[in-house]
Amino acid sequence: NAGVMQNPRHLVRRRGQEARLRCSPMKGHSHVYWYRQLPEEGLKFMVYLQKENIIDESGMPKERFSAEFPKEGPSILRIQQVVRGDSAAYFCASSPRDRGRQANEKLFFGSGTQLSVL
């Protein structure tokens, strides 16, 4: 049973380009979370999605950032017109169901995508 798969592992973009980060959750998991880790900082929540639904995007910048988790295929975090401040490691995590009160359930993390904006 493969873990959470993120690709690419490293992504280099020039300012103004678009970045697409992909996340395939663990088999059987229908809930995906995206986190951003800036240098010298912990992980910051960005967005929580279920299949075809955005549940909580309170941590995601209103401009340039979007996320989706289609019925088929991986979850995509899309950053338009990237700027240098977007350089960070972006982590995806998955769980089998709404964690709600099931906090004892583990959140499974991928190995992240390191985005570098030149």
Q: 45 burial class (0-12, 13-18, 19+ CB within 10 angstroms)?
A: middle
Cross-strand pairs, 92:
34
Q: How far is the CB of 100 from other proteins (least distance, A)?
A: 6
Structure tokens at 17: 């380009």
Q: Quick check: 12 and 116 in contact, CB under 8 A?
A: yes
Is there binding between residue 52 and other proteins (CB under 8 A)? no
Nearest residue to 79 via CA among 16, 9, 10: 16
Q: How far is the CB of 92 from other proteins (least distance, A)?
A: 10
Of 84-103, binders to other proteins (CB under 8 A) are 89, 91, 93, 98-101, 103
Is there binding between residue 11 and other proteins (CB under 8 A)? no
| CB count in 10 Å sphere of residue 24 | 19
Candidates 42, 62, 63, 72; binder of other proteins (CB under 8 A) is 42
Q: How far is the CB of 93 from other proteins (least distance, A)?
A: 8
Residues that bind other proteins (CB under 8 A): 33, 35, 40-45, 48, 55-56, 58-59, 89, 91, 93, 98-101, 103-104, 106-107, 109-112, 114
